[in-house]
Amino acid sequence: MSDRTFPQTSSSPILVLNGPNLNMLGTRQPEVYGSETLEDVIELCRRSAAARGREISHFQSNSEGEIIDRIHAAYGTVSGIVINPGGLTHTSVTLRDALVIPAVPIVEVHISNVHAREEFRRHSYISPIAAAVVAGMGSYGYVAAIDFLLTRTVQAD
């Protein structure tokens, strides 16, 4: 865990970001990504945060630029970021550069166990700047990530 990102002192929302193709959850390769839709997953995230008296803000896009714009808008307004970057995980230096800008803890989530799949999925541009990485836990990975951020974050207000 890096000292750069902890402790946080805000009760602002957790930003949950989903990258390309994650809007197709429930339809897309259910044997890999499960049968829950993105709406199901986000509802799970909302309930998980609400159980701790907190809120999430969610954004999904198939466009790298839109995701980066949303991260820029998060500056000063969120207390942590949970991101499943989809395929951008393995390709995007610009996404990584954007994610350090808000200077909040980040958890990288993958529904599938990327290490048990194709070789190219084992490399992540995001992991080195993440406080934690979750892979292979299905939708529960998002819940674990939110819980981690909310319980490991010092509340000032």
Smallest Cα–Cα separation from 148: which of 26, 4, 45, 25? 45
Contact flag: residue 84 with ligand DHK (CB under 6 A): yes
Q: What are phi and psi of 50, to 5 degrees?
A: -60, -35
Neighbours of 16 (CB within 10 A): 26
Binding ligand DHK by CB under 6 A: which of 17, 83, 104, 114?
Answer: 114
Q: Is 110 a catalytic residue?
A: yes
Query: Is 110 a binder of ligand DHK (CB under 6 A)?
Result: yes
Task: Specify the stretch interacting with ligand DHK by CB under 6 A; choose among 56-64, 68-76, 91-99, 104-112.
Answer: 104-112
Cross-strand pairs, 80: 14
Q: Closest separation between CB of residue 32 and ligand DHK, Å?
A: 7
CB 43, min distance to ligand DHK, A = 18
Task: Look at the alpha carbons of 31, 83, 134, 92 in this order and tell me if their dihedral is positive or negative.
Answer: positive
**Which residues carry out catalysis?**
33, 110
